Structure 1
Amino acid sequence: MAIKRKVTANWKGTATDGKGHLSSSNKFFDNTPYSFKGRFENEDGTLGTNPEELIAAAHSGCYAMALSVAISQAGHTPDEIDAQAEVVLDKEGEGFAIKEIKLTVKGKVSGLSEKEFLEMAEGAKKGCPISKALSAVPISLNASFES
């Protein structure tokens, strides 16, 4: 059974001066704005999002769930998993490219050793569907454990 998700982007104007909106079928994105300045100029106060932030959100959410699945399958219940994905966008030639994704995770799981947690954290990085989709980009992991 294939699961399908869809977001629609609408853009008006030039690349640098135009503005866009994202909308999703579940209304999570409901005309959410995005712009060139918010994406490439780190403009403070820009309302909205950008594609790299959406990739980071998808990756951190998927990764945290994948790690939770691994921990649960090992017979434990995660007390807490905090995952962060940082997408590094940089100039490449005349354009831009995603150069790296940095995953950071902090976990607290009663009854699990740090060694087990770190092994599961690495496995989740490799097994998360978003990690697989983004495998053309180097993905690093910084994991820490609290017993």
Structure 2
Amino acid sequence: MQRKGSAIWQGDLKSGKGTVSTDSGVLSQTQYSFSTRFESGKGTNPEELIAAAHAGCFTMALSGQLGAAGLVAEKLETTATVTFEKLEAGWTVTGILLDVNGTVPKADQAAWEKATQAAKAGCPISRLLNTTITMQAKLEG
């Protein structure tokens, strides 16, 4: 199985602009720019997209972990906060905080802790953030 996202950028870093799209069409030429990434411009940015992907992935994984323990959540709500800092090496994502709240009938604290820790370790996006990145780069024209 493969999922695709794409980006187009035109211009220099500060005054240029770009769009991101997904094969599903959920994002379709969604605007991003220097101002949406480093200021408060209208549009998205890569770090916010990573945060949303991680929150969604983790929450589904948590539902699966709870189900494996015979528990069903009434509601799971996760906010992923990506910390993006300028370091000596340049702008770097230095961490992600997963803040999760759940309403899970019949769950005790031990079952909740076990499920959340397993979901954090096992969610594919959590594992992605420790992966090897390969690349194909072609210069046109």
Q: Deviations over 1:82-109 (max 9, x none)?
A: 1111000000126200111111111111
Asked whether 1:116 is paired with 2:114, we answer no
Q: How does 1:93-132 map to 2 (within 5 A)?
A: 93=88, 95-132=90-127
Offset at 1:77?
A: 1.0
Asked whether 1:83 is paired with 2:83, we answer no
Question: Which residue, out of 48, 51, 69, partners 2:43?
Answer: 48
Superposed CA RMSD: 1.2
Aligned to 1:66: 61
Runs of 4+ aligned structure 1 residues displaced above 2 Å come to none
Aligned to 1:10: 8
Aligned to 1:19: 17
Offset at 1:47?
A: 2.0
Q: Deviations over 1:34-59 (max 9, x none)?
A: 01111012x2xx22110000000000
TM-score, normalization by structure 2:
0.89
One-letter amino acid matched to 1:30: S
Asked whether 1:38 is paired with 2:36, we answer yes
In structure 2, the residue corresponding to 1:28 is in which secondary structure?
coil
Q: Measure, in 1, the Cα distance between the counterparts of 2:84 and 2:31.
A: 20
TM-score, normalization by structure 1:
0.85
Greater shift in the superposed pair: 88-97 or 25-34: 88-97
- Structure 1, unmatched stretches of 5+, are 137-147
Aligned to 2:139: none
- Structure 2, unmatched stretches of 5+, are 132-141
Q: Percent identity?
A: 40
